[in-house]
Homo-oligomer: A and B are copies of this chain.
Amino acid sequence: EGAAFRTLIENCESKKDFLKLIAGVMKITRLKKNREFRQKRVRAIAMSFNEKNLSKVIKAHQLGVTQYLAETFAIAQKRGWIKPDTDLVALSYFFQGSFIGHVLLDITKQVEYEERWSEIAFKALQPFLVAD
Measured CB to CB, the nearest residue on chain B to A90 is B116
Residue A100 is within 8 A (CB to CB) of chain B in the complex: yes
A15 vs B46: C-alpha distance in the bound complex, in angstroms?
Answer: 38
Q: Are B94 and A98 closer than 8 Å at their CB atoms?
A: yes
User: How many identical subunits does the complex contain?
Assistant: 2
Q: Using CB atoms and an 8 Å cutoff, list the residues of chain A in contact with chain B.
A: 39, 42-43, 45-49, 55, 58-59, 62-63, 66, 86-87, 89-91, 93-94, 96-105, 107-110, 113, 116-117, 119-121, 123-128
Within 8 Å CB of A100, what residues of B? 97, 100-101, 103-104
> When the two chains form the complex, which single residue of B55, B62, B101, B120 contacts A90, counting CB atoms closer than 8 Å?
B120
Query: Which residues of B lie under 8 Å from residue A46 when comparing CB positions?
Result: 42-43, 45-47
